Amino acid sequence: MGIGDPRDGDNLPATVPQPVLPDILHAEAGRAADYARASRSAATRRAYASDWKIFTGWCEARGLESLPATPPAVATFLASEADTGTKANTIGRRLAAIGYHHRQAGFDPPQEQPGSGVIREVLAGIRSSMGTRKTRKKPADADALRDMLQTIKGDDLRALRDRAMLAIGMAAALRRSELVALDVSDVELPPEGLRLLIGRSKTDQAGEGTVIAIPEGRRIRPKALLLEWMASAGHKEGPLFRRLTRAGELTSDPMSDRAVARLVQRCAADAGLDPSEFAGHSLRSGFLTEAARQGASIFKMRDVSRHKSVQVLSDYVRDAELFRDHAGERFL
């Protein structure tokens, strides 16, 4: 070989950087999977994980393949769930979870495969037989929330945080995932009350964000309670509602959405209410229930709740007006 011949290893640099494509692709695929998971809320992913575990356990007990699963196997699973008393809405979520995990693994969901008509027929039969009415938790309306706030005694960090969280959750009609996702920078303090930027929500998966207003208030006083918490916590950035240690020390971590539900149930119990009838969603439904009761229009309610459809809101209004100007009031 002559001088400079590319086959002459002595003329090559000591190290020749080469792209490691498998590693690059693996990293990119991992990021793609992360984004795919981000398309569902943390609560939805937890529910799907539980549903998937139930389905795979059912398949394993019967010697069936769970991934990929066949439409007849999934239809039989759904029927089995109905026979054990699982609610129709939960069964529908189980099916969604099965489809989600198939997509994550690169398979066509059973409900989109040839022969999937059997799944639709079984699901329609279940809904027809069992109904799809949801069991609503009780709303933390103005009276209930006042009683719950009064159970939180003291002025330590935990008490200040918990009072502010309940007040803001109800006053802004927030889902518990939205409540724990609030950042200090999402809060503005105009003279009239508060402005909150809701960066991402169930109905805003693109993260465009929405600003909602909270009045100063005379009864619940959400602004005053929030300012008391922020002044004592002293945090200028990061998560608004933070996890505390067992000793009551502030951490940099946000609270979990499950902690919100536990707080609502604990305060409900301390107020003499049945804690099993309340949940994190009671704060959101409490605002809508009280707003409808006080005569707020559906459109003003939607300014705060951000519902895409007015159907849910009209149900709140109808419930509040069931006995108002009743058609039989003058003769019954």
pLDDT given for residue 34 in this prediction: 55
The mean pLDDT of 173-197, rounded to a whole number, is 94
Q: Is the bond leading into 68 cis (omega within 30 degrees of zero)?
A: yes
224-257 burial code (b ≥16 CB/10 A, e <16): ebbbbbbebbeeeeebbbbbbeeeeebeeebbeb
DSSP 262: H
Residue pair 137/279 in contact (Cβ under 8 Å)? The answer is yes
For the annotated catalytic residues, the residue numbers are: 175, 202, 281, 284, 307, 316
Q: What percent of the chain has pLDDT over 70?
A: 84
Element (H, E) at 215: strand 210-215
Residue pair 167/263 in contact (Cβ under 8 Å)? The answer is no
pLDDT given for residue 5 in this prediction: 47
**Confidence band (pLDDT; 50, 70, 90) for 237?**
very high
Q: Of 330 and 183, which is predicted with more confidence?
A: 183
Q: What percent of the chain has pLDDT over 90?
A: 64
The mean pLDDT of 236-264, rounded to a whole number, is 94
pLDDT given for residue 137 in this prediction: 82
Distance in Å from the first CA to the final CA of the chain: 111
Residue 83: exposed, middle, or buried by beta-carbon count in 10 A (0-12, 13-18, 19+)? exposed
Q: Retrieve residue 183's tokens.
A: 């950042």
**Confidence band (pLDDT; 50, 70, 90) for 26?**
low
What single string gives the DSSP state of each residue in 223-245? HHHHHHHHHHH---SSBSSEEE-
Instruction: Report the 10 Å Cβ neighbour count for 321.
Output: 13
The mean pLDDT of 142-158, rounded to a whole number, is 95
Whether the pLDDT of residue 35 is over 90: the answer is no
Nearest to 194 by CA among 162, 161, 230: 230
3-state secondary structure of 290: helix
- Residues 6+ away with beta carbon under 8 Å from 161: 229, 233, 241, 242, 244
Query: How do residues 65-77 score in pLDDT, each as one tens digit?
Result: 999 999 999 999 9
Separation between Cα atoms, residue 253 and residue 243, nearest integer Å: 6
- Residues 6+ away with beta carbon under 8 Å from 251: 242, 243, 244, 245
Nearest to 149 by CA among 216, 214, 222: 222
Separation between Cα atoms, residue 279 and residue 263, nearest integer Å: 9
Whether the pLDDT of residue 317 is over 90: the answer is no
DSSP 255: P
Whether the pLDDT of residue 23 is over 90: the answer is no
pLDDT given for residue 165 in this prediction: 96
Q: Of 22 and 110, which is predicted with more confidence?
A: 110
Separation between Cα atoms, residue 79 and residue 315, nearest integer Å: 31
Q: Of 321 and 48, which is predicted with more confidence?
A: 48
Among the residues of 172-221, which ranges form H helices? 176-181
Max avg pLDDT among 16-20, 31-35, 207-211: 207-211
Residue pair 171/153 in contact (Cβ under 8 Å)? The answer is no
pLDDT given for residue 243 in this prediction: 95
Whether the pLDDT of residue 18 is over 70: the answer is no
Whether the pLDDT of residue 202 is over 80: the answer is no
**Confidence band (pLDDT; 50, 70, 90) for 149?**
very high
Q: What is the mean pLDDT of the chain?
A: 85
- Order across the sheet with 193-198: list the strands: 187-188, 193-198, 210-215
pLDDT given for residue 12 in this prediction: 43
Whether the pLDDT of residue 225 is over 90: the answer is yes
The mean pLDDT of 122-139, rounded to a whole number, is 79
CATH annotation of 142-320: 1.10.443.10
Q: Is the domain covering 21-130 a CATH 1.10.150.130 domain? A: yes
pLDDT given for residue 25 in this prediction: 59
- Residues 6+ away with beta carbon under 8 Å from 196: 168, 172, 182, 186, 187, 188, 211, 212, 214
pLDDT given for residue 3 in this prediction: 41
What residue spans define the domains of the chain? 21-130, 142-320
